[in-house]
Copies of this chain bind each other. A is one copy, B any other.
Amino acid sequence: MPGALVPKPVVLHTADRAREFVRDRRASRQGIALVPTMGNLHEGHLSLARLARAEADVVVATIFVNPTQFGAGEDYESYPRTLDEDLSLLYAAGTVDAVFVPDEGEIYPFGADEAVRVSMPALSRELCGASRPGHFDGVASVVCRLLNIVTPDVMVLGLKDYQQLIVIKRMVADLGIGVRVVSGRTMRDTDGLAISSRNRYLTDEERVRAPLLYAALEKVAGAIRNGDGNYGALQQSAADELRASGFVPDYVEVRRAADLARPNGRQPPDELIVLAAARLGKARLIDNLDLRERELATSDVSAST
């Protein structure tokens, strides 16, 4: 029984209770780690909780499907809400001390429509932000609140949502928020597909094709490593191949990993990252491949999950 030595996590429903929980722990000089999630937890989230456990004395996970980061026509209503299963998973994993599960009024006490918003600069309107206007402002708006309520020493975010990670790091640095941001790598199924809550929107048939997204990133990355510097053509050809396999690509792009700026052609390959977003059926899938990392065979990657 993996969680036997760790007490069951406390479930906190209000911001006041969350503050109180953290205040008590901090009074005994314990460091706090925050793992923000939208629930429907999977191995990816659990790996972030384990990372958090290694970084701090106390791990607080949050489960909140944030309305302000969904656009019109997106899947806010249908986003999977599986609180009971999520709590069971966290109990079993034994890596989390508390789960903050606020309702909307705890996060947006004046309503989501009249909320104070955190407005991110230009980067937030590129890549995923281009097809999801306001998405990253919504992400920043909720993460800012979670940071203010939980006041963690460290926050753990996943590398799968790479642009989100960069946007949040920018918010933290620019607003002067005193938290260290740690990132955890993407968990993949054995066939390479990045684990995501939205994978459940895939039909069985689509699920079989879904790993082609990561395969497309590997192909672009491989070409760059072999000296191909014509990023535009590589992007185009990857998008065409995805389209031929039934995906509707939003983008395949080569960027500077450090800040997601467009490469100026003089970066060494290992400063780059390849990112993609594509719809497959009802699912909008995103993934990325960071050329700074050692190239991993799919079997190596899956072994780490």
Contacts and interface: CB of A to CB of B under 8 A. Distances in A.
Interface of A: 15, 19, 107-110, 114-122, 137, 140, 144-145, 148-149, 151, 170-171, 173-178
A173 B109 contact: yes
A114 B137 CA distance: 14
A140 B121 CA distance: 16
Nearest to A171: B116
A174 B115 contact: yes
What copy number does this chain have within its complex?
2
Contacts of A178: 19, 148-149, 151
A217 B148 CA distance: 38
B121 A119 contact: no
Nearest to A146: B176
A174 B109 contact: yes
Given A175-B145, A176-B145, A176-B148, A119 B122 contact: no
A38 to B, nearest CB: 18
Contact of A149 (B120, B140, B144, B176): B176
Given A145-B176, A177-B148, A178-B151, A114 B119 contact: no
A296 B91 CA distance: 62
Contacts of A19: 178
8 contacts: A114-B121, A114-B122, A116-B119, A116-B120, A116-B171, A117-B119, A148-B176, A151-B178
| Minimum-distance CB pairs A-B, first 10 | A148-B176, A116-B174, A117-B119, A149-B176, A114-B121, A119-B119, A145-B176, A148-B177, A110-B174, A116-B171
